């Protein structure tokens, strides 16, 4: 077997100890790796690099295309950017895979039957990081969801389920509220799901879905969801399975992939030979499958299960009566190494024979370009007088246009015409103008309204165009409208 070039970062806090333990185990199991080590994290940040990664490190990642990364410490404040978010987005790592498995009775859990894989979209949603203070009272964060982004992650989830012999794929969204953004995610899930007739498919609104996941995780198999829900619920799922310290994570892109533990650098535990290396080790197991060294992955994973089963536990999962030996990071690694080649007898052994190393095919569907018509505009104003009727009636009398003022909302709730006096209003108003009798308009009509508003002394924060795509409105109505 040829040595696979990989990039390794030892990270901060407990990172160097758990990385050493992980590498010791996988190399002892026969992993063929050509390791290129890079420095990332705290030391780089503190040298004044706000990204926490030097340009030369990107060269290594782009060359090897495989990154095994220990957790890092992000210094508080000071404009430091999250290296994790930067790495995922810069390298196009669109899929985050987090298997959450319980190991009862060897690791305490309220859910002895749990084997859920959370597949989280990793690049879009509120993590686009586009935030603006719009008025003294109101800030905004843009939630961006794209059709290719949805299709890539949803297809990945179905392909993953097929490849690993899973039976069901569940989708969580909040499309009863966010009909455009989460609605697109759900729609793409339904569209792509048709191509996988052998898999069961279901969708839950994320709130009740999360409640069910926390209560009866055995009902779930593979769950795919947008970025924010996936971020939160994968930690919940890992924790209820037993411990966040036991879960590994893969971040997969079309070119590059990154493997890590889901936990952080636990600085208080650093340098004491205490930390549990299992999360990073399971991340490394996913890496070995990814690079086509599935037999080594299987050997490592089964020896690790046998170690858990034999009660050899680090402090975080140690339980008198269940555990037989409390060990440190190094001793745990040695215990796994000494069991290489053994299978667990109580826990179910894993098999990666069916896992193929070829990259998943992510051919996206071609979409026909829709007919796009501009039918109006939402103009957002910063306006301190809180009298909605006064604002609506004045604007109606002031603006001469091919468009009519059809409504005003404040934080999304309709306040004109016919608002309720009880509705709380901020200094942030959305004024919706639409073409008379549904007529199409053009951007010069928008500019004309902006000009009149500016001349009348109004302060415009931003505008959003209102489109019909193939004669279907592509914008939300006002609440209460």
In the bound state with ligand NAD, the residue whose beta carbon lies nearer, of 4 and 84, is: 84
In the bound state with ligand NAD, the residue whose beta carbon lies nearer, of 91 and 375, is: 91
**Residue 120 in contact with ligand NAD, rule: CB under 6 A:** no
Minimum CB distance to ligand NAD, residue 242 (Å):
12
* Site residues (CB under 6 A) for ligand NAD, limited to 17-36: 18
Cβ–Cβ < 8 Å for 137, 428: yes
Alpha helices in 194-324 (DSSP H): 206-215, 227-241, 278-290, 294-309
Minimum CB distance to ligand NAD, residue 18 (Å):
6
Please give the structure tokens belonging to residue 430.
Answer: 């959305």
Residue showing the smallest CB distance to ligand NAD in the complex: 264
Cβ–Cβ < 8 Å for 407, 419: no
Minimum CB distance to ligand NAD, residue 260 (Å):
5
In the bound state with ligand NAD, the residue whose beta carbon lies nearer, of 267 and 292, is: 267
In the bound state with ligand NAD, the residue whose beta carbon lies nearer, of 16 and 267, is: 267
* Site residues (CB under 6 A) for ligand NAD, limited to 66-85: 71-74, 84
Contact residue for ligand NAD among 16, 92, 148, 264 (CB under 6 A): 264
Minimum CB distance to ligand NAD, residue 268 (Å):
6
Q: Which residue has the tokens 């040298």?
A: 47
- What is the 3-class SS of 159-222, one letter each residue? HHHHHCCCCEEEEEECCCCCCCHHHHHHHHHHHHHCCCCCCEEEEEEHHHHHHHHHHCHHHCCE
Minimum CB distance to ligand NAD, residue 73 (Å):
4
Contact pattern for ligand NAD over residues 269 through 308, marking x by CB under 6 A: x-----xx--x-----------------------------
SS3 label, residue 95: strand
In the bound state with ligand NAD, the residue whose beta carbon lies nearer, of 248 and 294, is: 248
In the bound state with ligand NAD, the residue whose beta carbon lies nearer, of 143 and 263, is: 263
In the bound state with ligand NAD, the residue whose beta carbon lies nearer, of 87 and 302, is: 87
Minimum CB distance to ligand NAD, residue 309 (Å):
19
DSSP 401: S
- Helix (H) / strand (E) element for 464: namely strand 459-469
Phi, psi (rounded to 5 degrees) for 48:
105, 5
Minimum CB distance to ligand NAD, residue 314 (Å):
6
* CA pair distance 349, 339, nearest whole angstrom: 13
Residue 234 makes CB contacts below 8 A (sequence gap 6+) with 96, 98, 100, 118, 120, 247, 249, 262
Contact residue for ligand NAD among 17, 124, 175, 260 (CB under 6 A): 260
Contact residue for ligand NAD among 209, 245, 283, 376 (CB under 6 A): 245
Strand partners, 96: 120, 251
Between CA 393 and CA 398, with CA 394 as vertex, the angle to 5 degrees is 120
Contact residue for ligand NAD among 111, 263, 428, 468 (CB under 6 A): 263
Alpha helices in 2-105 (DSSP H): 15-28, 42-46, 55-64, 83-90
Contact residue for ligand NAD among 175, 310, 316, 445 (CB under 6 A): 316
Minimum CB distance to ligand NAD, residue 7 (Å):
15
Kindly state the number of chain residues that form the binding site for ligand NAD, as judged by CB under 6 A.
20
Residue 374 makes CB contacts below 8 A (sequence gap 6+) with 440, 441, 442, 443, 446, 465, 466, 467
Cβ–Cβ < 8 Å for 42, 72: yes
Q: Which residues bind ligand NAD (CB under 6 A)?
A: 14, 18, 71-74, 84, 245, 260, 263-269, 275-276, 279, 316
């Amino acid at each position: 077997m040829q040595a696979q070039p990989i990039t390794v970062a030892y990270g901060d806090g407990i990172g160097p100890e758990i990385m050493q333990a992980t590498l010791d185990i996988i190399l002892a199991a026969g992993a063929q790796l050509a390791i290129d080590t890079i420095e990332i994290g705290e030391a780089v940040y503190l040298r004044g690099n706000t990204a926490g990664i030097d340009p030369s490190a990107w060269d290594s990642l782009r060359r090897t295309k495989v990154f095994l990364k220990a957790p890092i410490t992000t210094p508080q404040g000071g404009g430091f950017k999250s290296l994790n978010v930067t790495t995922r987005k810069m390298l196009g790592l669109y899929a985050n895979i987090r298997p959450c498995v319980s190991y009862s009775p060897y690791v305490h859990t309220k859910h002895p039957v749990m084997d859920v894989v959370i597949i989280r979209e990793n690049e879009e949603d509120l993590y686009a990081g586009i935030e603006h203070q719009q008025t003294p009272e109101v800030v905004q964060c843009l939630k961006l969801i794209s059709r290719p982004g949805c299709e890539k992650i949803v297809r990945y989830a179905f392909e993953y389920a097929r490849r690993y012999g899973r039976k069901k794929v569940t989708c969580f969204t909040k499309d009863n509220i966010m009909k455009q953004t989460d609605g697109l995610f759900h729609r793409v899930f339904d569209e792509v799901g048709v191509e996988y007739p052998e898999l069961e498919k279901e969708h839950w609104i994320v709130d009740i879905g999360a409640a069910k996941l926390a209560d009866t995780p055995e009902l779930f198999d593979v769950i795919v969801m947008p970025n924010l829900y996936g971020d939160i619920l994968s930690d919940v799922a890992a924790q209820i399975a037993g411990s966040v310290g036991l879960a590994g994570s893969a971040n997969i892109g079309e070119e590059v992939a990154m493997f890590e533990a889901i936990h952080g650098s636990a600085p208080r535990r650093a340098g004491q030979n205490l930390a549990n290396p299992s999360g990073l080790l399971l991340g490394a197991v996913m890496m070995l499958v990814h690079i086509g060294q599935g037999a080594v992955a299987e050997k490592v994973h089964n020896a690790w299960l046998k170690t858990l089963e034999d009660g050899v536990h680090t402090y975080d999962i140690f339980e008198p009566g269940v555990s037989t030996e409390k060990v440190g990071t190094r001793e745990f690694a040695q215990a796994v190494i000494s069991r290489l080649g053994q299978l667990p007898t109580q826990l179910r052994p894993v098999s990666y024979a069916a896992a193929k190393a070829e990259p998943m095919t992510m051919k996206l569907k071609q979409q026909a370009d829709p007919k796009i018509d501009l039918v109006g505009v939402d103009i957002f104003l910063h306006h301190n007088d809180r009298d909605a009727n006064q604002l609506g009636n004045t604007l109606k009398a002031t603006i001469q246009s091919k468009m009519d003022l059809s409504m005003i909302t404040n934080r999304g709730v309709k306040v004109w015409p016919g608002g309720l006096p009880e509705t709380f209003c901020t200094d942030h108003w959305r004024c919706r103008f639409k073409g008379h009798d549904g007529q199409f308009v053009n951007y010069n009509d928008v500019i004309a309204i902006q000009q009149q508003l500016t001349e009348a002394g109004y302060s415009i924060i931003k505008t959003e165009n209102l489109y019909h795509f193939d004669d279907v409105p592509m914008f939300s109505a006002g609440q209460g409208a």
